[in-house]
Every structure is written in structure tokens, then in C-alpha cells.
Amino acid sequence: MAIKKIKVKVLAFDLMGVIYGHGHINREYSLDFLKFPASRYSLVSRLYKRYKVGQITKEEFWHNLGKSSLVEGKFLQKIKRSINKDFFTIIKKLDPNYQIVAVSDMPLSWAIGLLDINKNFTFDYSIISAWTGKKKDRSVVNFKELLKRMRVRGSEVLFIDDLLVNLKNAAKLGIRTVWFPQDFKRPEQKVRYRPDYQIKKLTDIIKIVK
């Protein structure tokens, strides 16, 4: 079946799970980086949830994990190596004609590092949970901010995320949604919501927009 193309002005991307890695920041990266056993996942996850909404500082996060915050740069480089190279194709073909933004749940310092894709590309805007104090699955605040800052209606935005729960919140504001699932078994996928599109590879975005 042919994909129904739509006309939008803004392409909004989640970072972890879409542009980088598979969305399991702590399971994929933190435990291995810290050389922690799986049994310490709950500790890392609990601290990270507070860190990404600005409730604790970078220093507090790493100190509570027994590390100096100076290791964060090396940690982010580990994540950056997981970039989905299809994103380079997308920005090459679509950046001249669309506003490309990031809407992601992560700490401020992580965002600063991961938003730096390469020297030839800069996001037109970015909305990070550490700035708003709200996560995408808990609130529509980040999406309201997106519409306000980009001066567009929801129907003029296409949002790509790996989690249905985030897409469901975006859709409450009329935002068009694209599901790029990396893990169907995550609890966040057990929501009643049917996205506008589901893709298997990131470059399928090119087929969706006019």
C-alpha cells in the first residue's frame, strides 16, 4: 500500500531511540560504562529519572554512582557512536525545506553534547525535559512549547519517537505522529494509541512528507 504523503513545516525527532541507540540509555550504556551488574539497574534508573528533569545536578548524579562528573564526556562519546546514519540522509534531503527540531527527555548537559550532530547541521530548535521539568510521557508541556516556539499548528508538525506513550501525548495537540519502534516489549508500548505512521527505517520519513 502506498504511503499517504502529508504536508508539514516541522520535523521533530526524539534523540535516544530514534537518532541515537535503541532508547534503553541505562541498560544499553550506563551499566556497561559503569561496569555495574544488572542488579544495580534500579539505582541508575532512579537517579537518571531525577537527573533528566533537572531535580539533581550532573555532579550529584555521577557522585551517587561513585564517579566524578568528569567522566560524562567520555560517556556521551560512547552514545554518539551509536548514531543512526540514516539521519544524515534525512538532513541532507530535507533540511533545506523543513524546520528540524529535537524533542527529548534527557539532562541538559547530555542534550548539549548529543545535539551536536556534525559541523554541517544544527537543529532549528530543541526542547529538553531538563529545561521544562516535564517528561514527554507525563505531560504535553514539551509539545505545547514546540508549537509556541515554532509558531505552527499541531497538524504542521511530524513527530518521530520510539515510544507510543510519547506519541499519544503529542497527538493530543493535533501533532502528526510516526512510530519508529526499537523494542515492542517495553511497558511504554502498552498504550491504546494508533500512530499516523509506523516505519522500519528512519529514511522512510522522506517518503511521508511532501
Q: Residue 127, Cβ neighbours under 10 Å: how many? A: 25
Nine-digit cell string for 20? 541515537
Does position 2 have pLDDT exceeding 70, yes or no? no
| Residue among 10, 2, 1 at smallest CA distance from 177 | 10
pLDDT tens track for 146-171: 999 999 999 999 999 999 999 999 99
Instruction: List the domain boundaries for the chain.
Output: 10-23+83-208, 25-79
Q: What is the pLDDT of residue 183?
A: 63
| Residue among 16, 136, 131, 133 at smallest CA distance from 75 | 16
Contact 142, 134 (CB under 8 A): yes
Does position 182 have pLDDT exceeding 90, yes or no? no
Q: What is the pLDDT of residue 77?
A: 94
| Residue among 139, 102, 105 at smallest CA distance from 25 | 105
Q: Summarize the confidence of residues 66-87 as an average pLDDT.
A: 94
Q: Percent of the chain having pLDDT more than 90?
A: 84
Q: What is the pLDDT of residue 185?
A: 61
DSSP 148-186: HHHT--GGGEEEEES-HHHHHHHHTTT-EEEE--S-TTS
pTM of the model: 0.92
pLDDT tens track for 101-154: 999 999 999 999 999 999 889 999 999 999 999 999 889 999 999 999 999 999
Averaged confidence pLDDT in the chain: 92
Nine-digit cell string for 46? 532512579
Give the Cα separation of 168 and 160 in Å (integer): 11
Q: What is the pLDDT of residue 3?
A: 75
Give the Cα separation of 79 and 72 in Å (integer): 11
Q: What is the pLDDT of residue 27?
A: 83
CATH node for 10-23+83-208: 3.40.50.1000
181: CB partners within 8 A, 6+ apart: 162, 164, 189, 198
18-27, 62-71, 182-191, 196-205: the lowest-pLDDT one: 182-191
pLDDT band at 21; cut points 50, 70, 90: confident
Torsion of CA 203, 172, 135, 27, to 10 degrees: -50
Q: Summarize the confidence of residues 64-74 as an average pLDDT.
A: 95
Q: What is the pLDDT of residue 186?
A: 65
pLDDT band at 28; cut points 50, 70, 90: confident
Q: Summarize the confidence of residues 63-84 as an average pLDDT.
A: 94
Give the Cα separation of 59 and 43 in Å (integer): 16
Give the Cα separation of 119 and 127 in Å (integer): 20
